[in-house]
Amino acid sequence: MQDILNRLLALLDTLERVYRSLRGELENERAALTAANLTDFLVARDRKEALLNRLQELEDQRVRQTDQLAAALDLPPATVTVSRLAHHLAPAEAGRLKACSDRLTATLAQVGNLNGANRALIGASLGFVEGSLRVLQTLRRPTSIYHHNGRMHSAPCSGTLLADDY
């Protein structure tokens, strides 16, 4: 059981480090968004995607190792939480598990906050673009117009800001 616990603790440490890396990429993404730097944004997005793939692999491993530890402690895997595991461990081991869990929880909260802020920035940028498109669409006139002499003229480019003068 000690071996399973040590592997789980090492895995939780790895998860926390990868989430800290993700936090860094979210900070890079935010800087790119506020600077309107598409190149930096795309680089951060690609790195973030790679980290998310890695996190998915680690999370799958965490579930398997948690289930193994639960089985070693004769607990039903579906009901296992860090608190429940800690109650069945020696105080020193429970403390290590709880400390690891607390660090991971704090990092996850920071990642969630940064992700929400970036989502808001992207939403605001998208709203600005959509609003600009609406304004531009209201400035356009039909390209075919009738002149005072009754003839129809199709202008290659027309609108409120651009007009054919005769």
| Angstrom distance (rounded) from CA 69 to CA 100 | 16
pLDDT of residue 132: 86
Weakest mean pLDDT among 80-89, 100-109, 150-159:
150-159
pLDDT given for residue 166 in this prediction = 47
User: Which neighbouring-strand residues pair with 145?
Assistant: 153
Question: Half-sphere exposure of residue 22, counting CA atoms within 13 Å on the CB side?
Answer: 26
Alpha-carbon gap, residue 2 to 146, rounded angstroms? 88
Over residues 97-113, mean pLDDT:
95
Confidence at residue 164, expressed as pLDDT on a 0 to 100 scale:
52
Instruction: Decide: helix, strand or coil at residue 144.
Output: strand
Q: Tell me what pLDDT residue 64 has.
A: 92
Start-to-end CA span in the chain (Å): 90
| Mean pLDDT along residues 99-123 | 95
pLDDT of 139 reads 73
Mean pLDDT for the chain overall: 86
Tell which CATH architecture fits domain 2-142.
Up-down Bundle (1.20)
Q: What percent of the chain has pLDDT over 70?
A: 85
- Please state the pTM of the whole predicted model: 0.76
The full set of domain ranges for the chain reads: 2-142
pLDDT at 92 over 60: yes
Predicted confidence at residue 143, as pLDDT, reads 57
